Amino acid sequence: MNELTDQNPSEIGRKLWSARQKQKMSLRDLAKAAEISASMLSQIETGKAFPSVRSLYKIAAALGVSVDYFFPAEDEQPNDAASNGATHSTDLTASQMREALLTNDAGNGMVSFPTTHKTPVVQANARPKLELNSGITWARLTANSEEDTEFLEIKYAPGAQSGKNMSSHSGREFGLVLEGELMVELGFETFTLSQGDSIIFDSSTPHRLTNNGTLPMRALWVVLTPNNA
């Protein structure tokens, strides 16, 4: 996986320690529940290592918190991170983004969608966006962060890929291609979705998304990641 540049792992470690203490879980107990080695978990907690996206999702699920817990709250956002369509960029892959949902923060460099909206409507020109330097854009279609659910418009530039390796995590995914083509590698099978095609799959099956076409791809995407999954 790519290095997470300009990040502050100590903030994630601090929140991880706090949540673990609140749940009265030992490092070994949490490591077992999150399927991560105790030594790696210790390094993450002490700020010596950054969790992968998949690891962060598993840690959050094991602790019974949302992934958003590890990143800046609304009142920690910088003044110029307005809620009306602010866009942030990152070097994360789409696979990493799915598990981390990081966003820029002036205080510690974290990455997540910009601040929440006060109405249930999100205007087309005011969607909070995350831009990956790999040519992928995620736009959140909900006014606020929804527990266990991500409702997104995703865009893949020609040649863009969700990650070098296939990823897996708990939950289910639902996709509908609106424009272009999207290749979905799902376990040992490969599917090419064209405009109007849709797909549903278990996120625990190793998967990877790629735009092998010459035109941009745009799709609606829903990721369900229940904490008890």
Amino acid 175: pLDDT: 97
Q: What is the pLDDT of residues 132-141, one digit of tens each?
A: 767 888 888 9
Amino acid 146: pLDDT: 78
Sign of CA dihedral 49, 50, 53, 57: positive
Evaluate whether 9-70 and 84-224 have a shared fold. Answer: no
| Whether this model's pTM surpasses 0.75 | no
| Domain 84-224, CATH among 2.60.120.10, 3.40.50.300, 3.30.930.10, 3.30.420.40 | 2.60.120.10
Q: Which is nearest to 215 in space by CA: 168, 160, 162, 171?
A: 160
> By the 8 A CB rule, do 139 and 128 touch?
yes
Domain ranges of the chain: 9-70, 84-224
For tokens 């998949």, the residue is: 54
Structure tokens at 132: 């990956």
Task: Please provide the CATH number assigned to the domain covering 9-70.
Answer: 1.10.260.40
Q: What is the pLDDT of residues 96-115, one digit of tens each?
A: 555 554 333 323 333 444 44
Amino acid 118: pLDDT: 64
Amino acid 145: pLDDT: 74
pLDDT in tens, the chain (229 residues): 333 333 456 778 888 999 999 889 999 999 998 888 888 898 888 888 777 766 777 888 888 887 767 765 444 444 433 334 444 444 455 555 555 543 333 233 334 444 455 678 888 887 877 777 678 888 889 887 777 888 999 999 999 998 888 888 778 999 999 999 999 999 999 999 999 999 999 988 999 999 999 999 999 999 887 764 4
Amino acid 97: pLDDT: 55
Contacts of 222 (CB under 8 A, 6+ apart): 149, 150, 151, 152, 173, 174, 175
Structure tokens at 133: 């330097």
> By the 8 A CB rule, do 65 and 101 touch?
no
